[in-house]
Chain A
């Protein structure tokens, strides 16, 4: 495979690299990141995605690209309903609407929080349910689940959990209106009813962080962020409910696809034309799962506020524990974009990629209209995280998408060989980072050294014009599932 370099951070995978490509692949990467993407065959997956019916422009990959299941992680693909474009549940992934939210406070690290960080982390660990299975903070009846799936964060809000501003600063204001709970299977509902307000396991986490560098003072100011400020970053998704929705529809599409005359190079790319009844059902069920994911992070936020209130003896509103933004990195959405010189409504799949609208976009909360959409990029445990904003330029480059994280560089077994979980916890503590993990021996699977350098990933995004860096945060407390 011979990717062609078009620009310092832009590479093209020509049509013909694999049979049936309809558009080229475009990968945003530095030399080093591109080398890794070629070596782990993720670039081949970018080419495979380019075979999907109705794909427009290119099959894109963000700089944190790595090998995935069918779609590469970091992949972005837009399909056009007018040209029999498809939707693929695998192009969204099992953890539908998994995403990151950032919560700010008025606390200053050195002055207010440094002395109580151990207590804070252990309070969070006790009040935020996490790990495999796990009962969440709210247990719902089947009927309540149907309402929640239709309403997203408006459901917990109606129960007195959270604030109106939490909805305002969430993608889609916390509710995807086209959700169709009736297309979510009973089993998916069953898995979700006990899990609302639970973090999950694996790479999901909650971190107490400090803003240690502001690079764009104006944007940071608009987001209410300042150097030395204590923030909380939360990474979680739609839990078992979303996994089940994806499982159900991959199976349906795998079965229906041959009847629609579609062939794909990997069964996990199973897809159907957007007009197909099962595709419409998937989009409705996916939106419902996305509503669950946002509501899940919303309810988790309540656990964060409660913990801070307990430790600092002030109310959450007095502490200004407010949502900066919440955005997903596994989702498919119908959006208007310029394709071949005209505006078309296309289905943008983002799998391990984040929507990043530029300034002026009507979807943005009024407060962010001038600066662009905030994007929160988690580093791996113990390394820096970033807050970015979308650019106008990204609309024409990547369907307004940017990276979502660092991307793995080392297998879990390899990572555990480098250092044991408890030894890693000690190392983090020596760096002044408090740690609470429900599976201490597994901590090393998610070690910073097992991931690519997130700083390089975000600087490539900046270099390629996909987003701009606003601030860097460093962790001071880690709560893992």
Chain B
């Protein structure tokens, strides 16, 4: 498939592997994987929030992006109706999410943070990108 994700689960840990034909597409998929783990996927329309992140390399950028989504989820107690990454640069990214307030407790796993553990982001010359991130739950 062109773009997608899978949730990686072992004994005590939860991670995600996401891919797409561009870094932007792969990061969006990583965002959806996180939303599914959180039990925070919903339908729009919702409020639009700009998401920006900075880091020294693309792998750290993936962690920073997921941390931004976690912050929006927790501080607004909101689920995601749309996740768009418009630009992934060498050291920063731009995007926006559409959020809807949660109705009651999400039926998902609470996530504390994205980690650098076994972190991997690989981009092929054609742009195809794969992201692997483990989460602290």
Contact = CB atoms under 8 A, between A and B. Distances in A.
A131 B39 CA distance: 13
Contact of A411 (B10, B67, B75, B102): B10
Contacts, number: 115
Given A69-B13, A247-B113, A438 B136 contact: no
Contact of B13 (A67, A190, A200, A270): A67
A240 B74 contact: yes
A228 interface: no
Interface residues of B, number: 38
B110 A481 contact: yes
B60 interface: yes
Contacts of A441: 107
A408 B11 contact: yes
Contacts of A337: none
Interface in A319-366: none
B118 interface: yes
Interface string B41-82: 000000000000001100110011001000101111100000
Interface residues of A, number: 47
Interface in B115-134: 115-119, 134
A442 B107 contact: yes
A187 B119 CA distance: 24
Interface stretch (A6-14, A116-124, A249-257): A249-257
A410 interface: yes
B11 A411 contact: yes
Nearest to B15: A69
Contact of A40 (B11, B14, B63): B11
A202 interface: yes
B9 interface: yes
A4 interface: no
A411 B9 contact: yes
Nearest to B56: A255
Interface string A193-228: 000000011100000000000000000000000000
A268 B74 contact: no
Given A67-B11, A93-B136, A411-B9, A191 B74 contact: yes
Nearest to B134: A69
B137 A202 contact: yes
Interface string B7-20: 00111111000000
A267 interface: yes
Contacts of A73: 12
Interface string A106-118: 0000000000000
Interface in B19-55: 38, 55
A140 to B, nearest CB: 15
B64 A251 contact: yes
A191 B77 CA distance: 12
Contact of A412 (B9, B55, B60, B75): B9
A254 B63 CA distance: 12
Nearest to A201: B110
A445 B113 contact: no
Contacts of A144: none
Nearest to B74: A133
A191 B75 contact: yes
Contacts of B55: 251
B83 to A, nearest CB: 18
A5 interface: no
A375 B73 CA distance: 34
22 contacts: A68-B12, A90-B115, A95-B112, A95-B136, A132-B106, A133-B74, A133-B102, A201-B110, A240-B74, A246-B113, A250-B116, A267-B116, A267-B119, A268-B115, A268-B117, A407-B12, A411-B11, A412-B9, A412-B14, A438-B105, A442-B107, A445-B109
